[in-house]
Amino acid sequence: METKGSFTPISIIDKKIGICVKDASRKILNQNELSQRVCGPMMGEMCSKGCMRFYQQLDECASLAQGMVHYKNTDIESTKVDAVVVNDGEFITTFFYPLQEDALIAQKREEYFREKGLTKSEMRVMELMLQGSTNAQIAEQLYISKATLKTHINNVYKKLPSSFKHLKLR
């Protein structure tokens, strides 16, 4: 397998994705560096924070306990992440990717929307859609009717590539 510089592809992933492995009793068996930064070093301890909050909700329904569950744009110890919790019956493994919303990302997104011809109102709607807001929340936050919101969204769909069409009104 080819490497880039001194990094192997696995070491690159290891730096960008938090990984924590627990046994069935929730005792932490292994944490990578990112997991330790987000949740604190907890090797050998019983975990009751972070991703286990999600898992405890699933644990209430035994038929759902085993398998894989994806959580988008959620919090682990005050860090916004996308996370996957995998239970194979023996181990509970969490993979999470910290989401970073910094000024540079927002600026690039705004420039892209401007290039595509979105109006200021359409850009505000898109920002809220990308944050996962429902149509009712967007209309309330922008003080517009649902009909006006639908007009903005239809205009956005006409101006942006089809890859944005997965963002549906909720």
> Among 67, 98, 129, which residue terminates a domain?
98
| Structure confidence at residue 82 (pLDDT) | 84
Q: Is residue 3 part of a domain?
A: no
CB 69 within 8 A of CB 1: no
CA pair distance 21, 95, nearest whole angstrom: 9
Tell me the CA distances in angstroms from 107 to 85, 94, 162, one per residue in order: 32, 31, 22
CA pair distance 41, 39, nearest whole angstrom: 7
Do 108 and 159 have their domain in common? yes
Q: Which two tokens stand for residue 134?
A: 């429902």
Q: Which residue has the tokens 């919101």?
A: 149
Helix (H, G, I), strand (E, B) or coil at 124: helix
pLDDT of 42-80, one tens digit each?
999 988 776 776 666 555 544 446 778 888 777 777 778
Segment among 17-21, 24-28, 35-39, 68-72 with least mean pLDDT? 68-72
Do 121 and 81 have their domain in common? no
Instruction: Check residues 125 and 11 and name the one with the higher pLDDT.
Output: 125
CATH number assigned to the domain comprising residue 121: 1.10.10.10
C-alpha 82, offset from chain centre: 3
User: Which structural domain, as residue segments, surrounds residue 151?
Assistant: 103-166
pLDDT of 103-154, one tens digit each?
667 788 888 999 999 999 999 998 888 877 889 999 998 899 999 999 999 9
Q: Is residue 1 part of a domain?
A: no
| Structure confidence at residue 169 (pLDDT) | 45
Do 84 and 107 have their domain in common? no
Q: What is the pTM of this model?
A: 0.55
